[in-house]
Amino acid sequence: MKDSKTFIFLCLVGFCSFVSYDMVRRPALALFVESLGAGPFLVGLLVAVSTVTGVILKLPMGLLSDQINRKRLMLGGVLAFAFPPFLYPLISDLWTLGLLRLFHGLATAMFTPLALAMVGELFAKRRGEAFGWYTSATQGGGLLGPMIGGAIVFQYGYSPTFLLAGLFGLLALVFFWLIPQTPSPSRVHQHSPSTVWKEMREGLHRVCQIPPILITSIVEAAKMMGNGTLMAFLPLYGLIIGLNAAEIGVLFGVQAFTSFIAKPVMGRISDRGARQPLIVGGLCLCGLMVMFIPHIQGYILLLVVAGTFGFGEAVVTSSTTALVADYSEGKDLGAGMGLRGTIMDIGHAGGPLLAGILIHALGYAGGFFCIGVLLLLTATYFGLRMIGIKNPVVL
């Protein structure tokens, strides 16, 4: 009963946090950056810079959470969801915006890998389905955030959008306090900081010695490279073909909606032993959709492509998260999720940066094509390395 209550409130925290986070990110952020005078490269840089925090901190946070109480560490992430949105209306230059984006990145860096590790502990036998439901909750935030944010930007401007995002962040903080307290790992109560540090190093060594964790994390990085590319440049492409901010927000909402609906179902399917083929198929679908986008000018067809990308994203994530948890079984769940998060954020940060350079050199068609090809090549690599490898047995 306590596990169910913990899971429900954790899902509510994830939902409200990502309503807030995605209200800032999609489509408001790229449009806001462009309004301050940035070109494609700087748009990509400032959209991506928050993930630098995740690259640096997700792995240490995951490792540390295997040694001390996860909920205490997660508080920092929830606070970073709640308060930075209130600062965006005060920004008038790109340099200060970049610093705020780094600070805002603490939210996902300190919350996401720990929340996933907590879900993995609560549901060892049905991880794919549990991860599907939890990530659907966060995806629900990703559904509402862009749609609400795009409509408010279109009607009232940037400041009301950012302030409302802050209110959703504060609501997430309220739900966080309602999560039942979980006990700290007993092995740490009498340990010194040096012993905790030693155990963190040993946990990192163990997970880095498991190739499926690294290979699966690379898939997540590739998927997030595609996601980051859309986050930064779909709003700008939408303006080019005559869409307004509200219509662009609906594109991201449809992407999130299909992912929201599909993740629990695909997670349940992946629990039946089909994780590897699902990952290959989902990533190929994401790559193809990225390649199609700059050749489409009709809004209805763009909605279909955005929704299909969201479905491919759901297929990938519901299986990769569970697969990493399977191989990180035992006391290294936080380490496995932290390593996955760090590698994933490298892709998330690299996508907008690389896409910005490619779009500047090759235009939207050439830039999106190259990103799509990278996703297809990653799917091929994963398939050659992983299909046929049996999932570890989770007791």
Calpha distance 162→394 (Å, rounded): 43
Residue 13: burial class (beta carbons within 10 Å; 0-12, 13-18, 19+) = buried
Q: Taking a C-beta distance cutoff of 8 angstroms, is the pair 322, 342 a contact?
A: no
Beta strands in the chain (DSSP E): none
Confidence (pLDDT) at 188 = 45
Nearest to 365 by CA among 244, 277, 233: 233
Entry pTM:
0.79
Contacts with 77 (C-beta within 8 Å, 6 or more apart), sequence order: 106, 107, 108, 109, 110, 111, 112, 114
Query: Are the C-beta atoms of 256 and 140 separated by less than 8 Å?
Result: yes
Report which residue type is found at 122.
Answer: L
Q: Among 240, 222, 247, which residue's Cα sits nearest to residue 40?
A: 240
Separation between Cα atoms, residue 55 and residue 58, nearest integer Å = 6
pLDDT of residue 220: 93
What are the structure tokens assigned to 393, written together?
A: 């047995």
Q: Is the distance from CB of 81 to CB of 15 less than 8 angstroms?
A: no
CA gap 311, 325 in Å, rounded: 22
The pLDDT value recorded for residue 204 is 73
The residue assigned the tokens 């763009």 is 302
Residue 214 to residues 3, 52, 287, 320, 384, Cα–Cα distance (Å): 30, 19, 20, 11, 14
Angle (CA) 221 227 232, round 5°? 120
Task: Please give the Cα distance from 86 to 373 (Å, whole number).
Answer: 38
- The model's pLDDT over 292-348, given as tens digits with 9 standing for 90+, comes to 999 999 999 999 999 999 999 999 998 998 888 888 865 677 888 888 888 998 998
Structure tokens at 135: 């990530």
User: 101: which 2 tokens?
Assistant: 């984006």
d(CA 285, CA 299): 20
Regions in the chain scoring below 50 on pLDDT: 184-190, 394-395
Q: Which residue has the tokens 């989770």?
A: 394
What is the enclosing helix (H) or strand (E) of 184? none
Contact at 8 Å (CB) between 43 and 33? Answer: yes
| Other beta carbons within 10 Å of 171 | 18
State residue 187's pLDDT score. Answer: 43
pLDDT for 306: 96
